[in-house]
Amino acid sequence: MSRRPLVAGNWKMFKTRGESLAFADGLRRGLGSSGSVEIAICPPFTAIDVVASALAGSGVGVFGQNAHADENGAHTGEISMAMLVDAGATGVLLGHSERRADDNETDQALARKVPAALAAGLTPVLCVGESEFERDAGTTKAVLDRQVLEGLSAVPVADLSKVVVAYEPIWAIGTGKSATPAIAQEAHGWIREQLRELCGDTAEQIRILYGGSVKPENAAELLSQPDIDGALVGGASLDPDSLLAIAAAAAS
Ligand code: PEP
């Protein structure tokens, strides 16, 4: 089963609208025409419309970094899935470890957010991954089982192929210390196994991205692993040439 690789750049809380526009112009200039790799940018909310307009027709997706599960309501500081769509987004990151840690994002909340994203027509990217403490304690697989199975618990089997899972070991995020290809593949293989339990052969269609200090220098080796179907990139996605180099590694 061949899965089209996805390389998504998570900008976190970086870039004003002007800086986002400059990035989008640079990305457009460097984009090839092959389209064998899907590219997505996850700007801050304030820049989604700017980036979506600047990249219209390029095939590059624009994803939110979070959204609320409710359609609307008294949730100060939140935005809905429909608002993301209205701003031009085509997907959304859900359950990034920084949100799990800083904003108390729970598996129960994510179990509502993933189907809400699908209902709005967005591609949900469910982020999972263990801490260093959990890895050292030998509980990595149990953590991944819980996060994957609870996060996807309310998604109808027929919709699971539209979901993307991102494996992001917390100890590798923003640390410069990427997982080795073997460690990453082991975790991805395990996640695929859990997805098979959940939905049988449909699991072969679900893309599992690796995230954690991916750079142009280490991307090719990570992305050549059989169950690594792309990358979720933080720091190295802030420069268009660096993101394009990672996308080129995913294509080869
Ligand atoms: C991330 O924020 O999802 C991430 C993987 O960050 P970095 O690439 O900087 O480790």
pLDDT in tens, 186-228: 999 999 999 999 999 999 999 999 999 999 999 999 999 999 9
Residue whose CA is at the smallest distance from ligand 1 atom 2: 234
243 lines ligand 1 (CB under 6 A): no
The residue whose CB lies within 8 Å of the most ligand 1 atoms, and thus the one to mutate among 213, 237, 246, is: 213
> Structure pTM?
0.97
| Domains of the chain by residue range | 6-251
Q: Determine the Cα–Cα distance for residues 248 and 231; give it in Å rounded to an integer.
A: 12
pLDDT of res. 147: 98
pLDDT of res. 1: 60
213 lines ligand 1 (CB under 6 A): yes
More confident residue, 8 or 34: 8
235 lines ligand 1 (CB under 6 A): yes
Q: Does domain 6-251 have CATH number 3.30.420.40?
A: no
Q: Report, as residue numbers or ranges, the catalytic residues.
A: 96, 168
9 lines ligand 1 (CB under 6 A): no
Contacts of 67 (CB under 8 A, 6+ apart): 78, 79, 80, 81, 83, 84, 92, 94, 113, 116, 117, 122
Residue 123's DSSP bridge partners are: 91
